[in-house]
């Protein structure tokens, strides 16, 4: 049954493509040209004047069509990286696995990628190495625009915008899917997930961020294939984790990840701790992620350490519960549990050292902050992790009345400290030594 569906889907994709795109005009795609980065437009124009094809592609076209503000603008072209470099003064070729050109225009960086063939090379030559399970290890064949469209993950991510003509080229039915707010894989989901299991996480991220309905055949596969993520390096999962948590829809993403068995893949100990059925743990994560979403949406800074500290907290709490009461001081107990939690987490996601240090600091400062400001609170407040630890306490306090007094006391202490030290001795400027 499922198989038939996939075949039908992929036939539909083939029929629609055949190398001939649907050309979508302004009245239909609705892109507001003033939302298009001038730098990206400039790069396209220079490439076109140089005799090449060039388009704005990927997430930026999707976001423009949805009336969202794109994060960055990527360009795809038939020019090779060296040919791109010849056209621009400020251009660098980067990447080992797949070479790209980075073009600098004013203060903007525009990524220019040459069309890639994907593994469906017409000549049948193996430009791509694949594992027995179908995972793509290397994918470095140049291709044509229609091949490039097909190697992308979702139809919504595979639209090509030509700013010189103000048209969108659609090889995969992406425009219709965008209108229907539908997230659909290009090709057979089972194959595409096996090629690159990170697409499982990308599916959830885009569904949550764009508030799209996943194509049912694809959605149904995600829990079945979740364990393919075992093969993904912990370093790549760290990067993907940040994208999931800082998308501006982290709360919804978290629910979807849990629902699809992906939280278990990324944060197995958190998933197990949540199954203990302590509703306050789940509540804490939801509130904290809602808060992160708020910050992202209003352009405030967010830190990976904070989001990771939030997601791993239920496991830390579980470990604390398992310690013999009274055996360690609260701070020591937290230090022990923090190290254990970080050690376990490192098996699936490798958190760079400086972030891990910060996460640990956020946790082990909690007992000190819970006790409220004592003498010389400015010493505590001047620590680098203070602000994050204080925010963390604030989120915990939202559902724990006993913490509210301490949190408010720290809020007052900071206000006093910020306005206070005008009469404190200023750091003397060091005089330049004479030679």
Q: How far is the CB of 58 from Mg ion (least distance, A)?
A: 6
Question: How many alpha carbons lie under 13 Å from residue 319 in its C-beta half-sphere?
Answer: 23
> Apex CA 98: angle with CA 94 and CA 104, to 5°?
30
Q: How far is the CB of 39 from ligand ATP (least distance, A)?
A: 16
Helix axes 216-225, 2-17, angle to 10 degrees: 120
CB 234 within 8 A of CB 346: yes
CB 381 within 8 A of CB 417: yes
CB 79 within 8 A of CB 50: yes
**Set 63, 139, 153, 170: catalytic member:** 153
**Set 63, 74, 148, 391: catalytic member:** 74
**Of 77, 114, 157, 292, which one interacts with ligand ATP (CB under 6 A)?**
157
**Of 152, 188, 246, 396, which one interacts with ligand ATP (CB under 6 A)?**
152
Q: How far is the CB of 240 from ligand ATP (least distance, A)?
A: 9
Which residue lies nearer to ligand ATP by CB, 111 or 281?
A: 111
- What are the tokens at 136? 């793509």
CB 218 within 8 A of CB 184: yes
Which residue lies nearer to ligand ATP by CB, 74 or 370?
A: 74
Residues numbered 23 to 82 that lie near ligand ATP (CB under 6 A) are 58-59, 71, 74
Number of residues that bind ligand ATP (CB under 6 A): 11
Q: What does 345 interact with, of Mg ion, ligand ATP, none (CB < 5 to 8 A by kind)?
A: none
**Of 78, 139, 153, 271, which one interacts with ligand ATP (CB under 6 A)?**
153
Q: How far is the CB of 262 from Mg ion (least distance, A)?
A: 21
Q: Residue 215's closest CA among 255, 250, 253, 180? A: 180
Q: What does 198 interact with, of ligand ATP, Mg ion, none (CB < 5 to 8 A by kind)?
A: ligand ATP
User: Among 34-42, 59-67, 202-210, 256-264, which window interacts with Mg ion (CB under 5 A)?
Assistant: 59-67
How many Å apart are CA 140 and CA 128, to the nearest integer? 7
Burial of residue 162 (number of CB atoms within 10 Å: 0-12, 13-18, 19+): middle
Which residue lies nearer to Mg ion by CB, 153 or 281?
A: 153
Q: How far is the CB of 26 from ligand ATP (least distance, A)?
A: 22
Cα 51 to the chain's mean position, in Å? 35
CB 75 within 8 A of CB 68: no
How many Å apart are CA 184 and CA 192, to the nearest integer? 11
Residues numbered 256 to 315 that lie near ligand ATP (CB under 6 A) are none
- What are the tokens at 108? 């903007």
- What are the tokens at 94? 């980067």
**Set 72, 108, 146, 339: catalytic member:** 72
Q: What does 158 interact with, of Mg ion, ligand ATP, none (CB < 5 to 8 A by kind)?
A: ligand ATP
Residues numbered 237 to 266 that lie near ligand ATP (CB under 6 A) are none
Could you report how far apart the first and last alpha carbons of the chain are, in Å?
Answer: 84
**Of 6, 9, 59, 365, which one interacts with Mg ion (CB under 5 A)?**
59
User: Among 54-62, 129-137, 171-179, 266-274, which window interacts with Mg ion (CB under 5 A)?
Assistant: 54-62
Contacts of 238 (CB under 8 A, 6+ apart): 349, 350, 351, 352
* Residues in a beta bridge with 185: 154
CB 183 within 8 A of CB 154: yes
How many Å apart are CA 389 and CA 400, to the nearest integer? 16
**Of 84, 172, 198, 228, which one interacts with ligand ATP (CB under 6 A)?**
198
Residue 391 catalytic? Answer: no
Considering only CA atoms, give the Rg of the chain. 25
Q: How far is the CB of 74 from Mg ion (least distance, A)?
A: 6
The pattern of x and - marking residues 167 through 196 that bind ligand ATP according to CB under 6 A reads: -----------------------------x
**Of 77, 114, 155, 158, which one interacts with ligand ATP (CB under 6 A)?**
158
Q: What does 85 interact with, of Mg ion, ligand ATP, none (CB < 5 to 8 A by kind)?
A: none
The sign of the torsion formed by the CA atoms of 219, 225, 228, 234 equals: positive
Active site positions, annotated: 72, 74, 153
* Interface residues toward Mg ion, by CB under 5 A: 59
What residue ranges bind ligand ATP (CB under 6 A)?
Answer: 58-59, 71, 74, 152-153, 157-158, 196, 198-199
């Amino acid at each position: 049954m499922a198989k038939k569906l996939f075949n039908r889907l992929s036939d539909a994709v083939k029929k629609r493509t055949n190398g001939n795109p649907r050309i979508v005009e302004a009245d239909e795609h609705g892109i507001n040209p003033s939302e298009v980065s001038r730098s990206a437009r400039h790069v396209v124009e220079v490439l076109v004047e140089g005799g090449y094809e060039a388009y704005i592609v990927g997430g930026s076209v999707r976001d423009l069509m949805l009336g969202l503000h794109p994060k960055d603008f990527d360009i795809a072209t038939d020019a090779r990286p060296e040919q791109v470099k010849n056209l621009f003064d400020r251009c660098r070729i980067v990447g080992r696995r797949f070479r790209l050109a980075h073009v600098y225009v004013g203060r903007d960086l525009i990524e220019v990628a040459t069309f890639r063939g994907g593994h469906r090379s017409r000549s049948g030559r193996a430009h791509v190495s694949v594992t027995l399970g179908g995972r793509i290890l290397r994918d470095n064949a140049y291709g044509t625009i229609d091949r490039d469209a097909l190697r992308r993950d979702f139809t919504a991510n595979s639209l090509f915008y030509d700013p010189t003509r103000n048209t969108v080229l659609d090889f995969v039915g992406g425009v219709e899917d965008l209108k229907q707010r539908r997230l659909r894989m290009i090709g057979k989901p089972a194959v595409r997930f096996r090629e690159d299991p990170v697409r499982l996480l990308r599916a959830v991220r885009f569904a949550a961020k764009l508030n799209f309905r996943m194509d049912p055949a694809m959605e149904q596969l995600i829990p079945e294939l979740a364990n393919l993520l075992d093969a993904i390096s912990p370093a790549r999962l760290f990067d993907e984790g940040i994208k999931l948590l800082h998308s501006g829809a982290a709360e919804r993403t978290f629910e979807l990840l849990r629902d699809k068995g992906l939280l278990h893949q990324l944060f197995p100990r958190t998933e197990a701790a949540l199954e203990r059925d302590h509703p306050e743990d789940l509540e804490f994560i939801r509130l904290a992620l809602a808060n992160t979403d708020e910050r992202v949406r209003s352009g405030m800074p967010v830190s990976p350490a904070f989001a990771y500290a939030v997601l791993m907290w239920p496991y830390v709490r579980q470990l604390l519960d398992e310690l013999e009461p009274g055996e360690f001081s609260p701070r020591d107990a937290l230090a022990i549990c923090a190290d254990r939690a970080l050690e376990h987490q490192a098996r699936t996601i490798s958190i760079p050292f400086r972030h891990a240090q910060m996460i640990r600091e956020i946790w082990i400062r909690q007992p000190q902050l819970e006790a409220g400001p004592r003498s010389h609170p400015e010493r505590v407040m001047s620590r680098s992790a203070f602000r994050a630890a204080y925010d963390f306490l604030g989120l915990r306090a939202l559902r724990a009345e006993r913490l509210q007094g301490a949190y408010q006391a720290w809020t007052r202490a900071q206000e006093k400290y910020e306005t206070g030290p005008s009469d404190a001795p200023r750091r003397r400027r060091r005089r330049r030594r004479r030679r």
